[in-house]
């Protein structure tokens, strides 16, 4: 049985006849359409019309391409998120959502300040949820970004399923250049798997409900292994050259704390000698590097965003918002 995409079907039927050629004729797109019709019962004609309207966006490719290592700046990245405007907005967000944040912390074990910081970094508390048409971003990345094509094809699949399930107009949904949506910037697969109805209105609305965004961020972290009451990372200092064998070896904690200490790493705290750790170096072209030692919850934060910059920015912004709230 073939299933219509509902709101999508109406949208594609009103497409302008003067629309520019789209992705439809490409063999890899035709193969994707065939998979979607066979696996999920989509109507192939509707998907062909959809991809005729979808547009390649060069800005998506430009923005998602990683900067060369020497051009990345922790100081610039940090300043973008740890500033008075975002900190004060965070205290206001916390105040108006204090009850839901407390409920999320109790239910999922994720501290309120971490939830607030993630939403602050992602969209400045819903102020900027993205201006890119999600269908264009995901189609561009699925078929014209070979580095991660498999991942983005899977997210395009999830997006079409999400739109059908929620009765959404595919062409009306906007988000980030990578296809993330809503107040917490969930990718479509995360939206379908981890979004929760936290305001009790019967829907999982990450586009408009702050409560649903709060519960969904907490649920995402819990489902990825967040350890209640455990730390995230510790500031560190380094001496000599032995530590270089351990630095920037990914994001997963894999070295014992005592091995790092033996290599000249000094922690700001004292985890047990057998605690699994990762040593992170945050580099800036015009400033000395900062070093941090991440533990299990640091790794969990990188499931939200793979960047080490991101995980430490969440930790620091959480602390700043918590401190500012305590002064009120």
| Distant-in-sequence, close-in-space partners of 37: CB < 8 Å, separation ≥ 6 | 2, 43, 44, 47
Would residue 321 count as lying in a domain? yes
Residue 93 belongs to domain spanning = 71-127+202-229+299-328
Task: Kindly state whether residues 279 and 136 are assigned to the same domain.
Answer: no
Q: What are the DSSP calls for 268-313, one per residue?
A: SS---TT-EEEEEEEEETTEEEEEEEE-HHHHHHHHH---HHHHHH
Task: Kindly state whether residues 27 and 150 are assigned to the same domain.
Answer: yes
Strand residues in 137-275 grouped as ranges (E): 174-175, 233-238, 255-256, 265-267
Query: pLDDT digit of tens for each residue in the chain (328 aa)?
Result: 566 665 554 444 443 333 445 799 999 999 999 999 999 999 999 999 999 999 999 999 999 998 887 788 999 999 999 999 999 999 999 999 999 999 999 999 999 999 999 999 999 999 999 999 999 999 999 999 999 999 999 999 999 999 999 999 999 999 999 999 999 999 999 999 999 999 999 999 999 999 999 999 999 999 999 999 999 999 999 999 999 999 978 899 999 999 999 999 998 888 899 999 999 999 999 899 999 999 999 999 999 999 999 999 999 999 999 999 987 6
Both tokens of residue 192?
Answer: 């379908």
Task: Assign residue 209 the CATH number of its domain.
Answer: 1.10.530.10
Task: Kindly state whether residues 149 and 273 are assigned to the same domain.
Answer: no
User: Would you tell me the crossing angle of helices 98-108 and 210-223 to the nearest 10 degrees?
Assistant: 20
Residue keyed to tokens 């048409």: 133
Would residue 189 count as lying in a domain? no
Would residue 194 count as lying in a domain? no
Would residue 101 count as lying in a domain? yes
Would residue 63 count as lying in a domain? no
How far is 218 from 62, CA to CA, in rounded Å?
31
Both tokens of residue 82?
Answer: 């740890």
* Active-site residue flag, 122: yes
Among 122, 157, 158, 210, the active-site one is 122
Q: How many CB atoms lie within 10 A of CB 99?
A: 9
Cβ pair 94, 116 in contact under 8 A: yes
Q: Count up the domains in the chain and report the number.
A: 3
Task: Assign residue 42 the CATH number of its domain.
Answer: 1.10.8.350
| Distant-in-sequence, close-in-space partners of 299: CB < 8 Å, separation ≥ 6 | 225, 251, 252, 253, 278
Q: Virtual CA dihedral for 170, 305, 74, 323, nearest 10 degrees?
A: 100
Task: Kindly state whether residues 17 and 155 are assigned to the same domain.
Answer: yes
Task: Kindly state whether residues 123 and 11 are assigned to the same domain.
Answer: no
Q: Which residues pair with 266 in a beta bridge?
A: 237
Residue keyed to tokens 């944040």: 101
């Amino acid at each position: 049985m073939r299933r219509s995409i509902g709101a999508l079907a109406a949208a594609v039927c009103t497409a302008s006849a003067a629309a520019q050629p789209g992705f439809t004729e490409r063999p890899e797109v035709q193969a994707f359409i065939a998979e979607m019709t066979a696996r999920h019962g989509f109507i192939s004609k509707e998907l062909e019309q959809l991809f005729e309207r979808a547009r390649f966006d060069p800005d998506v490719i430009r923005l998602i391409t990683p900067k060369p290592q020497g051009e990345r700046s922790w100081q610039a990245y940090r300043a973008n998120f740890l500033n008075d405007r975002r900190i004060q907005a965070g205290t206001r967000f916390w105040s108006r959502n204090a009850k839901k944040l407390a409920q999320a912390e109790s239910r999922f074990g994720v501290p309120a300040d971490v939830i607030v910081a993630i939403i602050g970094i992602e969209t400045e508390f819903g102020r900027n949820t993205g201006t890119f048409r999600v269908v264009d971003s995901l189609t561009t990345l699925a078929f014209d970004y070979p580095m991660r094509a498999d991942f983005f094809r899977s997210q395009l699949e999830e997006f079409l399923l999400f739109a059908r399930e929620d009765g959404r107009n595919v062409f009306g949904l906007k988000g980030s250049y990578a296809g993330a949506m809503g107040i917490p910037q969930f990718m479509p697969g995360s939206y379908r798997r981890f979004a929760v109805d936290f305001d009790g209105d019967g829907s999982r609305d990450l586009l408009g409900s702050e409560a649903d965004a709060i519960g969904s961020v907490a649920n995402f972290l819990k489902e990825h292994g967040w350890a209640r009451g455990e730390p995230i990372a510790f500031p560190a200092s380094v001496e000599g050259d032995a530590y270089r064998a351990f630095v920037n070896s990914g994001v997963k904690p894999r070295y014992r704390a005592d091995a790092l200490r033996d290599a000249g790493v000094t922690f700001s705290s004292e985890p047990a000698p057998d605690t699994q750790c990762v040593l992170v170096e945050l580099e800036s072209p015009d400033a000395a590097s900062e070093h941090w030692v991440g533990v299990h919850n640091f790794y969990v934060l990188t499931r939200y965003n793979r960047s080490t910059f991101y995980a430490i920015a969440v930790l620091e912004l959480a602390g700043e918002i918590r401190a500012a709230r305590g002064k009120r």
